[in-house]
Chain A
Amino acid sequence: AQKVTQAQTEISVVEKEDVTLDCVYETRDTTYYLFWYKQPPSGELVFLIRRNSFDEQNEISGRYSWNFQKSTSSFNFTITASQVVDSAVYFCALSEARDSNYQLIWGAGTKLIIKP
């Protein structure tokens, strides 16, 4: 069965530290998509990245980077030089191509607290 695990319920770091949020997934499909979303205190979810299963290249976008490793079924998210504005709940999600409706399977989220 497909599943997404975000084992870190809450992480607290001091501003300017680097922080990595873990995401481990389970799927039997060979074609799938992985997502990260950010949910700030205001409540709306903000799309950060989508990665398909055939693209294992790491991605960097400013202070954000993602490490996709199929060998360990992980899609970890790192924030470099964290800032207070990065405080939010971050969700990892999976959708499988064999599900023609591409429903997202969501992790439980990791609450990130950046202290000034």
Chain B
Amino acid sequence: DGGITQSPKYLFRKEGQNVTLSCEQNLNHDAMYWYRQDPGQGLRLIYYSQIVNDFQKGDIAEGYSVSREKKESFPLTVTSAQKNPTAFYLCASSISLGQPQHFGDGTRLSIL
């Protein structure tokens, strides 16, 4: 079945450590997105990519980095510069920008 796979489901980060969240899609979608969700809040856009080898900052990109070397993959690295990384991270994809987005199951990141 086509879909979006995020891994791991749960992730723990130590102080000063970078961690990478995986997002893979087999929907042949051009656009991919990373969102952060905090309790009781809506989603906030971290980064998005319209096409391979291209990505743009969203509203809260500081402390995060991404790459888009393959159409299927859009990994997110939470760097040590992100001082409050504890949140639920959602990856999404769409045929193109502006089209309905399809979401993965999310990764819950916590600090040790």
Interface residues of A (CB under 8 A from B): 4, 9, 33, 35, 37, 42-47, 50, 91, 93, 95, 97, 100-104, 106-109
Minimum Cβ distance to chain A for residue B1 (Å): 14
Decide: B42 and A101 in contact? CB cutoff 8 A. Answer: no
Given A43-B88, A107-B42, residue A102 in contact with residue B105 (CB < 8 A): no
Q: B104 in the interface, Cβ–Cβ < 8 Å?
A: yes
Decide: B92 and A45 in contact? CB cutoff 8 A. Answer: yes
Decide: B42 and A44 in contact? CB cutoff 8 A. Answer: no
Interface string of B70-110 (1 = CB under 8 A from A): 00000000000000000010101000011011111110100
Given A43-B105, A44-B106, residue A108 in contact with residue B100 (CB < 8 A): no
| Residues from chain A with Cβ under 8 Å of B92 in the complex | 45
Q: B2 in the interface, Cβ–Cβ < 8 Å?
A: no
Between-chain CB contacts (< 8 Å), 22 pairs? A4-B42, A33-B98, A43-B108, A44-B90, A44-B103, A44-B106, A45-B101, A46-B103, A47-B101, A47-B102, A50-B100, A91-B42, A97-B98, A101-B50, A101-B97, A102-B98, A103-B58, A104-B45, A104-B101, A108-B40, A109-B40, A109-B42
- Specify the chain A residue showing the minimal Cβ separation from B88: A43
Q: B111 in the interface, Cβ–Cβ < 8 Å?
A: no
User: Which range holds the interface residue count of chain B?
Assistant: 20 to 34
Decide: B42 and A108 in contact? CB cutoff 8 A. Answer: yes
* Max chain A Cβ within 10 angstroms of own Cβ: one of B58, B90, B98: B98
Decide: A44 and B104 in contact? CB cutoff 8 A. Answer: yes
Pick the contact of B45 from A35, A100, A103 — CB < 8 Å? A103
- Specify the chain B residue showing the minimal Cβ separation from A35: B100
Decide: A91 and B106 in contact? CB cutoff 8 A. Answer: no
- 8 tightest A-B CB contacts, nearest first: A102-B98, A106-B42, A45-B103, A43-B106, A47-B100, A102-B97, A44-B105, A106-B43
